[in-house]
């Protein structure tokens, strides 16, 4: 039986069901993020005490380069996968899904391997001016680039299928737990860990989870996109995904980018303090990531169906779920931040002012809503290029001005100002292009 329009009770029931599903899906993702965060937090605490600030600084810088280059290796396809797979699944086009997964995997492994080879040869050619403490760690990190890029891509494919278990559990829970276990075992056996040792253990964790993701996505394709046929639209996929590189960098690895930009202006010990302070501040973003990741496929499907009312409703709900818990987390860190930093060692307590500034930058992101996700999955990814390009330039300029003057606090101030600029700009674009207004009120 059909009607011309929904009854008020039916509309209210639909909204309640949407909110319940959003909360349930976000809670699962949040749980995965939380479990991984606990493992990562414990690992960071142990490594800080086992390695000391200087060796930890070397490792942080090496892994930051690994994350950055692996993001470039996927050329935005890991973000575009949510849209391409989600829309193709909605239109019942299994051959498109299979073609995308095959071609995107080939591109990611190819570009990642090229970046690794070029990076290693570049390091070996200038080894005389690179500190021995970081040279080997950087080379090992480069070997992990294609594997980490592939893992990120396959995670995006699983998210496009709305497969929460495969999309979040391996990368957010299994990998940190494997890494923590390997580091703990190595310390018990040797009681001596350096940056290169820890980077090697990270490579082992990444490699094992990447292989699992290949197996898991293969099974997912067999169930959700069966058949031998594969359709390739490589030029369209690359053109649409290339602007999303900025989304991946700023949305997922912005802290690592900050470390790289500021790394040449600070000592390894200061890099470690900045890294730890940022990691504690990022406790706020676990909820943001969970909500954005869950609503991504829904946003893509609603936009494809032209359901702007539903899109507005989901956006407001997601923004509220982002903003208010984030405010509470900032207040909590104001009172508990110094003791938390002290867990890493007495030298890390000096990062408390930077921690509060970085936490406030996360609050800004929460209050402006899931703007990046809205634009990236609705076909407006080209609008992201000037935003992230200027934000990148602005971060470099601010860091080179503020870090020499204020050290770790200067790096945090650069992040806050840069975040305010690009987050506000992104919200303006969302309002203009989609007619959707993210608001926590």
Q: What is the pLDDT along the chain (441 residues), one digit of tens a residue?
A: 334 444 444 555 555 565 566 556 666 766 777 787 788 888 989 999 999 888 999 999 999 999 999 999 988 888 888 888 888 887 888 898 999 999 999 999 999 999 999 999 998 887 665 666 688 999 999 999 999 999 999 999 998 887 878 888 898 889 999 999 999 999 999 988 999 999 999 999 999 999 999 999 999 999 888 888 888 888 888 888 877 776 667 666 788 888 888 877 888 889 999 999 998 898 777 666 666 666 666 776 677 677 777 778 777 877 877 778 888 889 999 999 999 999 998 889 999 999 999 999 989 888 887 787 777 767 776 777 788 888 888 999 999 999 999 999 999 999 999 999 988 998 898 888 877 787 777
273 with 349: CB under 8 angstroms?
no
pLDDT at 236: 87
> Tokens in use for 109?
């492994």
pLDDT at 369: 79
The CA-CA-CA angle for residues 42, 370, 86, to 5°, reads: 95
253 with 67: CB under 8 angstroms?
yes
pLDDT at 3: 40
The whole-angstrom separation of Cα 112 and Cα 72 is: 8
pLDDT at 40: 85
400 by Cβ neighbours in 10 Å (0-12 / 13-18 / 19+) ranks as middle
Give the 3-state secondary structure percentages of the chain, helix then strand then coil, rounded to 5. Answer: 85, 0, 15
pLDDT at 73: 93
181 by Cβ neighbours in 10 Å (0-12 / 13-18 / 19+) ranks as middle
Q: Which ranges of 144-194 would DSSP assign to H, the alpha helix? A: 145-160, 164-169, 175-190
pLDDT at 12: 55
What pTM was computed for the model?
0.77
pLDDT at 88: 84
67 by Cβ neighbours in 10 Å (0-12 / 13-18 / 19+) ranks as buried
The whole-angstrom separation of Cα 359 and Cα 357 is: 5
Which residues have CB under 8 Å from 12's CB, separation 6+?
Answer: none
Chain position carrying tokens 């497969």: 163
- Shortest CA distance to 360 belongs to which of 434, 304, 278, 425? 278
pLDDT at 289: 63
pLDDT at 26: 60
Q: How far is CA 343 from the centre of its chain?
A: 25
């Amino acid at each position: 039986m059909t009607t011309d329009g929904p009854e008020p009770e039916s509309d209210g029931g639909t909204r309640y069901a949407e909110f319940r599903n959003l909360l349930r899906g976000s809670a699962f993702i949040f749980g995965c993020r939380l479990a991984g965060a606990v493992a990562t937090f414990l690992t960071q605490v142990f490594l800080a005490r086992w390695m000391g600030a200087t060796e930890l600084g070397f490792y942080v810088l090496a892994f930051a380069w690994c994350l950055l280059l692996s993001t470039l290796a996927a050329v935005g396809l890991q973000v575009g996968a949510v849209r391409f797979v989600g829309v193709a699944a909605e239109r019942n086009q299994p051959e498109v899904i299979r073609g995308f997964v095959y071609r995107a995997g080939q591109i990611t492994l190819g570009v990642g391997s090229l970046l690794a080879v070029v990076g290693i040869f570049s390091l070996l050619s200038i080894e005389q001016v690179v500190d021995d403490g970081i040279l080997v760690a950087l080379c090992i990190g480069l070997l992990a680039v294609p594997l980490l890029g592939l893992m990120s891509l396959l995670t995006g494919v699983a998210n496009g299928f709305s497969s929460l278990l495969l999309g979040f559990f391996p990368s957010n829970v299994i990998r940190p737990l494997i890494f923590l276990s390997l580091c703990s075992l190595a310390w018990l056996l040797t009681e001596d860990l350096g940056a290169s040792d820890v980077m090697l253990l990270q490579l082992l964790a990444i490699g094992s989870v990447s292989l699992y993701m290949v197996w898991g996505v293969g099974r997912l394709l067999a169930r959700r996109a069966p058949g031998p046929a594969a359709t390739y639209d490589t030029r369209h996929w690359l053109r649409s995904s290339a602007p999303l590189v900025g989304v991946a960098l700023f949305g997922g690895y912005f802290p690592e980018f900050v470390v790289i930009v500021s790394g040449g202006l600070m000592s390894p010990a200061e890099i470690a303090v900045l890294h730890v302070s940022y990691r504690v501040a990022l406790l706020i973003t676990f909820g943001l990531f969970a909500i954005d990741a869950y609503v991504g496929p829904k946003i893509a499907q609603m936009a494809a169906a032209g359901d702007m009312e539903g899109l507005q409703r989901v956006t407001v709900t997601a923004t509220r779920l982002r903003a208010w818990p984030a405010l509470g987390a900032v207040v909590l860190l104001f009172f508990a931040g110094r003791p938390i930093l002290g867990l890493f060692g007495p030298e890390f307590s000096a990062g408390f002012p930077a921690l509060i500034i970085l936490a406030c930058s996360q609050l800004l992101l929460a209050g402006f809503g899931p703007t990046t996700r809205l634009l990236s999955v609705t076909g407006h990814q080209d609008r992201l290029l000037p935003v992230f390009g200027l934000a990148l330039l602005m971060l470099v300029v601010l860091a080179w001005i503020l870090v020499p003057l204020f050290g770790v606090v200067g790096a945090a101030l650069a992040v806050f100002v840069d975040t305010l600029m690009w987050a506000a700009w992104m919200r303006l674009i969302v309002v203009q292009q989609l007619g959707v207004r993210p608001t926590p009120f």
